[in-house]
Structure 1
Amino acid sequence: MTTPTARIRHIGAVILAAASLAACQSGHAATGPSTPDLGTPPTSSADALVPTPGSCTLGHRDGQDLPDTHCTPGTVNSQVTQATIDTTICQPGWTKTVRPPTSVTNKIKQQIDVAYGLPADTKGELDHLISLELGGAPSDPANLWVEPGKIPNPKDTVENKLHAVVCSELVPLTTAQRAIARNWVTAFDDAGLRVAGGKVCLHDNPSKCVGSNHRGDEDGS
């Protein structure tokens, strides 16, 4: 004997199946934006703490170093939103107004070296995973890691190009932020972009590109 509860569940399943079928029928399929929606990165917390010593491990992709996603997920500056990019990150010189002084960053670098188990004399820069030119949080440990190697480094180029596409409104700010936070090595692909001939173009619309000449502040990491 079929119970009332079972009948309700059956009806619900039929409704969901019908809705799914309708969405897939020709002429009714859902269409998305030209770039993927990668979500909104978390905002910096005033109470953020440096990870405990030895709790973080560098990752690697295509010969490049990556931060530990648990220790350094990337956080953003609440002042920078899609509505304010013209008066913040796309305004030349703006990042200098939010960049923390070396008296702050030197201390944080020493603490993050310990968190990642790196020698104190490790050559590299204290890097904002979501760069200041993309609205990254200036002094939140969750947005900082020590990127080993030479300065400038390959990530700087990625930051500058993403900044260009954001300030040219080729992709939304949050798309670029989330892409570089997820994996800076694959950020262009994750943001629906490709680099060709010195230009950055949309994957699904190669005619929409940004060159090297754009407005804004490239004082990134």
Structure 2
Amino acid sequence: MRSTARISTAAASALALAISGLILGVSAGTAQASTCSRAYLPLPDSSCTPGAYNPAVTQSTIGSTICVSGWTSTVRPSTSYTNALKAQGITDYGYSDTSMSDYEEDHLVPLELGGAPKDPDNLWPEPRYGSPTAYSKDSVENKLKTAVCDGDITLSAARNAIRTDWTTALQVTGIG
């Protein structure tokens, strides 16, 4: 699991290198030593990205948090924060493609379902290529949020389904 202390130091270094165009000194197309497995793609390695929740979002607070239009923009971390984690995650996952634009620094438990905004355990570099992709997950997140806000499923059921496997979350919750 990626520790917060390690990420903080690594993230600062990665950001400085990313800004200078040297993502950890590795050129595009060069394989890296990885600490996280890509074997689960399109899902993250749960030992590196187990997911985390925002304690302010509970079933009893959804009416003043996730179900309020625009609420996620109030908690979304800045790209200066997430880009540093993305650069480190690209290394941790050993992606040979080190182009930052080919990944979305994604929340495993989405902000739309009360995922922890800045917790490194909830963020990972999700590829924008392949099948399914980061774009596919976005529609799942939105459908689950709508179902939670409409009272069709509980917040806990939506979170558990997406945290376990977002590719089956709609079917597991009966939304799909």
| 1:72 and 1:143 in contact (8 A); partners too | yes
CA offset digits 1:170-205 (Å, max 9, x no partner): 1110110111010111112332x142xxxxxxxxxx
Number of residue-to-residue matches in the alignment: 145
Superposition deviation, residue 145 in structure 1 = 1.1
Mapped pair 1:77 → 2:59: no
Does the residue aligned with 1:136 lie in a helix, a strand or coil? Answer: coil
For structure 1, list consecutive stretches of 5 or more residues without a partner in the other structure. Answer: 1-45, 196-221
Higher strand share: 1
For the residue of structure 2 that corresponds to 1:185, the secondary structure is coil
Taking the aligned partners of 2:75 and 2:168, their CA distance within structure 1 comes to: 27
Displaced runs of 4 or more, over 6 A: none
The residue number in structure 2 matching 1:175 is 157
TM-score, normalising length: structure 1: 0.61
Contact 1:48 1:141 in 2 (8 A): no
Q: 1:59 to 1:86 in 2, by over 3 A?
A: farther
Aligned counterparts of 1:92 and 1:106: Cα–Cα separation in 2? 26
**Structure showing the higher helix proportion among its residues:** 2
Q: Does residue 128 of structure 2 align to residue 149 of structure 1? A: yes
Q: Which residue of 2 aligns with 1:121?
A: 99
For the aligned residue pairs, the C-alpha RMSD in angstroms reads 2.2
Paired position in structure 1 for 2:146: 164
Which residue does 2:74 correspond to in 1? 97
Q: d(CA) in 1 for partners of 2:149 and 2:138?
A: 16
1:188 aligns with 2:170: yes
CA-to-aligned-CA distance 1:13-54 (integer Å, 9 cap, x gap): xxxxxxxxxxxxxxxxxxxxxxxxxxxxxxxxx95754x961
Could you say what secondary structure the match of 1:153 adopts?
helix
Counterpart code for 2:52: T
